Chain A
Amino acid sequence: MSADAGTSIGLIWVPPALALLGFVLNGTIAFVRPQAKTAVSIIGAGVLLAAFAVAVTIFSGFAALHPDAPVVARYWSWIPVGTLQVDIAFQVDQLSLVMLLIVTGVGSLIHLFSIGYMREDPGYARYFAYLNLFVFFMLVLVLGANFPVMFVGWEGVGLCSYLLIGFWFSEQANADAGRKAFIMNRIGDFGFMIAMFIIFWVTGSLDFETVFRAAPTALVAGGGAVTAITLFLFLGCTGKSAQIPLYTWLPDAMAGPTPVSALIHAATMVTAGVYLVARCNLLFAMAPVASAVVAGVGALTALFAATIALKQWDIKKVLAYSTISQLGYMFVGVGTGAISAGVFHLATHAFFKALLFLGSGSVIFAMHRAYHHAHLHDDAQDMRNMGGLRRWMPWTATLMWIATLAIAGVPPFSGFFSKDEILAAAFARGTAQPIWLLFWAFGLIAALLTAFYMTRMMLYTFHGPNRTGDGAREHLHEAPWIMTGPLVVLGLLSVAGGLLNIPELYKGGAWLHHWLEPVTAPGAALLPETHVSHGTEWILVGVAVAVAITGIVGAWRLLKPETLVPAARSPEDHGFERVLRNKWYVDEIYDALIVRPLVWLSREVLWKRVDQGAIDAGAVNGAARGARAAGWANRWLQTGQVGMYVAAFVVGVLLLLWRAIGGGGS
Chain B
Amino acid sequence: MLLSPALAISAVLFTLGVAGVLFRRNAIVIFMCVELMLNAVNLTFVALAQVIGVGGQVFVLFVMAVAAAEAAVGLAIILAVYRHKQSVSLQNMNLLKDG
Spell out A's residues near B (CB within 8 Å).
Answer: 635, 638-643, 646-647, 650
- Which residues in B have their C-beta under 8 angstroms from that of A643? 22-23, 25, 90
- Which residues in A have their C-beta under 8 angstroms from that of B96? 638, 640
Q: Could you tell me the distance in whole angstroms from the C-beta of B91 to the nearest C-beta in chain A? A: 7
6 A-B pairs (CB sep. < 8 Å): A638-B98, A640-B94, A640-B95, A640-B97, A641-B94, A643-B23
Q: Given known contacts A641-B90, A641-B91, is B21 in contact with A646 (CB within 8 Å)?
A: yes
B11 interface residue (CB < 8 Å to A):
no
Which B residues between 43 and 99 are near A, CB-CB below 8 angstroms? 90-91, 93-98
B22 touches A646 (CB 8 A): yes
Query: Please, how many angstroms separate the alpha-carbon atoms of A611 and B86 in the complex?
Result: 59
Query: Please, how many angstroms separate the alpha-carbon atoms of A646 and B95 in the complex?
Result: 16
Q: Could you tell me the distance in whole angstroms from the C-beta of B14 to the nearest C-beta in chain A? A: 11
* A641-B94, A642-B90, A643-B22 given; 10 more Cβ-contact pairs under 8 Å: A638-B96, A638-B97, A640-B93, A641-B90, A641-B91, A641-B97, A642-B93, A643-B90, A646-B22, A647-B22
Query: Please, how many angstroms separate the alpha-carbon atoms of A646 and B18 in the complex?
Result: 9
- Which residues in B have their C-beta under 8 angstroms from that of A646? 21-22
Task: Tell me whether chain A's interface is mostly helix, strand or loop, or mixed.
Answer: helix
Q: Can you list the 6 inter-chain pairs with the closest CB atoms, starting with the nearest?
A: A640-B97, A640-B94, A640-B96, A642-B90, A647-B22, A646-B21
Report the tally of A-B residue pairs with Cβ distances under 8 A: 26
B22 CB contact (under 8 Å) in A639, A640, A650: A650
- Which residues in B have their C-beta under 8 angstroms from that of A635? 98
- Which residues in A have their C-beta under 8 angstroms from that of B21? 646
- Which residues in B have their C-beta under 8 angstroms from that of A639? 94, 97
Identity of the chain B residue whose Cβ is nearest the Cβ of A647 in the assembled complex:
B22
- Which residues in A have their C-beta under 8 angstroms from that of B18? 650
Query: Please, how many angstroms separate the alpha-carbon atoms of A166 and B96 in the complex?
Result: 66
Query: Please, how many angstroms separate the alpha-carbon atoms of A643 and B23 in the complex?
Result: 8
- Which of B22, B23, B95 has the most chain A CB atoms closer than 10 A to its own CB? B22
Identity of the chain B residue whose Cβ is nearest the Cβ of A651 in the assembled complex:
B22
Identity of the chain B residue whose Cβ is nearest the Cβ of A643 in the assembled complex:
B90
Query: Please, how many angstroms separate the alpha-carbon atoms of A95 and B25 in the complex?
Result: 98
Identity of the chain A residue whose Cβ is nearest the Cβ of B25 in the assembled complex:
A643
Q: Could you tell me the distance in whole angstroms from the C-beta of A570 to the nearest C-beta in chain B? A: 81
Query: Please, how many angstroms separate the alpha-carbon atoms of A640 and B90 in the complex?
Result: 10
- Which residues in B have their C-beta under 8 angstroms from that of A641? 90-91, 94, 97
Query: Please, how many angstroms separate the alpha-carbon atoms of A642 and B25 in the complex?
Result: 10
Which B residues between 17 and 38 are near A, CB-CB below 8 angstroms? 18, 21-23, 25
- Which of A639, A641, A643, A646 has the most chain B CB atoms closer than 10 A to its own CB? A643
Q: Could you tell me the distance in whole angstroms from the C-beta of A632 to the nearest C-beta in chain B? A: 11
Q: Could you tell me the distance in whole angstroms from the C-beta of A638 to the nearest C-beta in chain B? A: 6
- Which residues in A have their C-beta under 8 angstroms from that of B98? 635, 638
Identity of the chain A residue whose Cβ is nearest the Cβ of B96 in the assembled complex:
A640
Identity of the chain A residue whose Cβ is nearest the Cβ of B18 in the assembled complex:
A650
Identity of the chain A residue whose Cβ is nearest the Cβ of B23 in the assembled complex:
A643
Query: Please, how many angstroms separate the alpha-carbon atoms of A646 and B22 in the complex?
Result: 7
Q: Could you tell me the distance in whole angstroms from the C-beta of A240 to the nearest C-beta in chain B? A: 68
Q: Could you tell me the distance in whole angstroms from the C-beta of A501 to the nearest C-beta in chain B? A: 92
- Which residues in A have their C-beta under 8 angstroms from that of B93? 640, 642
Query: Please, how many angstroms separate the alpha-carbon atoms of A639 and B22 in the complex?
Result: 15
- Which residues in A have their C-beta under 8 angstroms from that of B91? 641
Query: Please, how many angstroms separate the alpha-carbon atoms of A647 and B24 in the complex?
Result: 12
Query: Please, how many angstroms separate the alpha-carbon atoms of A640 and B96 in the complex?
Result: 5
Identity of the chain B residue whose Cβ is nearest the Cβ of A654 in the assembled complex:
B18
- Which of A638, A639, A642, A650 has the most chain B CB atoms closer than 10 A to its own CB? A642
Query: Please, how many angstroms separate the alpha-carbon atoms of A640 and B98 in the complex?
Result: 8
Query: Please, how many angstroms separate the alpha-carbon atoms of A262 and B54 in the complex?
Result: 98
Query: Please, how many angstroms separate the alpha-carbon atoms of A642 and B89 in the complex?
Result: 11
Q: Could you tell me the distance in whole angstroms from the C-beta of B30 to the nearest C-beta in chain A? A: 8
Query: Please, how many angstroms separate the alpha-carbon atoms of A99 and B25 in the complex?
Result: 97
Query: Please, how many angstroms separate the alpha-carbon atoms of A635 and B96 in the complex?
Result: 12
Q: Could you tell me the distance in whole angstroms from the C-beta of A152 to the nearest C-beta in chain B? A: 63
Query: Please, how many angstroms separate the alpha-carbon atoms of A647 and B95 in the complex?
Result: 19
Q: Could you tell me the distance in whole angstroms from the C-beta of B81 to the nearest C-beta in chain A? A: 11
- Which residues in A have their C-beta under 8 angstroms from that of B95? 640
- Which residues in A have their C-beta under 8 angstroms from that of B97? 638-641
Query: Please, how many angstroms separate the alpha-carbon atoms of A638 and B98 in the complex?
Result: 8
Q: Could you tell me the distance in whole angstroms from the C-beta of A174 to the nearest C-beta in chain B? A: 63
Query: Please, how many angstroms separate the alpha-carbon atoms of A485 and B91 in the complex?
Result: 104
- Which of A638, A639, A640, A647 has the most chain B CB atoms closer than 10 A to its own CB? A640
- Which residues in B have their C-beta under 8 angstroms from that of A638? 96-98
Q: Could you tell me the distance in whole angstroms from the C-beta of B33 to the nearest C-beta in chain A? A: 10
Identity of the chain A residue whose Cβ is nearest the Cβ of B99 in the assembled complex:
A635
Query: Please, how many angstroms separate the alpha-carbon atoms of A103 and B6 in the complex?
Result: 101
- Which residues in B have their C-beta under 8 angstroms from that of A647? 22
- Which residues in B have their C-beta under 8 angstroms from that of A640? 93-97
Q: Could you tell me the distance in whole angstroms from the C-beta of B28 to the nearest C-beta in chain A? A: 14
Query: Please, how many angstroms separate the alpha-carbon atoms of A640 and B21 in the complex?
Result: 16
Query: Please, how many angstroms separate the alpha-carbon atoms of A625 and B22 in the complex?
Result: 36
Q: Could you tell me the distance in whole angstroms from the C-beta of A465 to the nearest C-beta in chain B? A: 93
Q: Could you tell me the distance in whole angstroms from the C-beta of B95 to the nearest C-beta in chain A? A: 7
Query: Please, how many angstroms separate the alpha-carbon atoms of A498 and B95 in the complex?
Result: 100
Identity of the chain A residue whose Cβ is nearest the Cβ of B94 in the assembled complex:
A640
Identity of the chain A residue whose Cβ is nearest the Cβ of B19 in the assembled complex:
A650
Query: Please, how many angstroms separate the alpha-carbon atoms of A641 and B94 in the complex?
Result: 6
Q: Could you tell me the distance in whole angstroms from the C-beta of A209 to the nearest C-beta in chain B? A: 76
Query: Please, how many angstroms separate the alpha-carbon atoms of A647 and B94 in the complex?
Result: 15
Query: Please, how many angstroms separate the alpha-carbon atoms of A643 and B98 in the complex?
Result: 17
- Which residues in A have their C-beta under 8 angstroms from that of B22? 643, 646-647, 650
Query: Please, how many angstroms separate the alpha-carbon atoms of A639 and B91 in the complex?
Result: 11
Identity of the chain B residue whose Cβ is nearest the Cβ of A642 in the assembled complex:
B90
Q: Could you tell me the distance in whole angstroms from the C-beta of A648 to the nearest C-beta in chain B? A: 10
Q: Could you tell me the distance in whole angstroms from the C-beta of B13 to the nearest C-beta in chain A? A: 16
Query: Please, how many angstroms separate the alpha-carbon atoms of A642 and B97 in the complex?
Result: 10
Q: Could you tell me the distance in whole angstroms from the C-beta of A658 to the nearest C-beta in chain B? A: 15
Q: Could you tell me the distance in whole angstroms from the C-beta of B27 to the nearest C-beta in chain A? A: 9
Q: Could you tell me the distance in whole angstroms from the C-beta of B70 to the nearest C-beta in chain A? A: 16
Query: Please, how many angstroms separate the alpha-carbon atoms of A647 and B23 in the complex?
Result: 9
Identity of the chain A residue whose Cβ is nearest the Cβ of B22 in the assembled complex:
A647
Q: Could you tell me the distance in whole angstroms from the C-beta of A616 to the nearest C-beta in chain B? A: 30
Query: Please, how many angstroms separate the alpha-carbon atoms of A642 and B21 in the complex?
Result: 10
Identity of the chain B residue whose Cβ is nearest the Cβ of A639 in the assembled complex:
B97
Query: Please, how many angstroms separate the alpha-carbon atoms of A647 and B90 in the complex?
Result: 14
Query: Please, how many angstroms separate the alpha-carbon atoms of A639 and B93 in the complex?
Result: 11
Q: Could you tell me the distance in whole angstroms from the C-beta of B18 to the nearest C-beta in chain A? A: 6
Query: Please, how many angstroms separate the alpha-carbon atoms of A262 and B49 in the complex?
Result: 99
Q: Could you tell me the distance in whole angstroms from the C-beta of A644 to the nearest C-beta in chain B? A: 10
Identity of the chain A residue whose Cβ is nearest the Cβ of B93 in the assembled complex:
A642
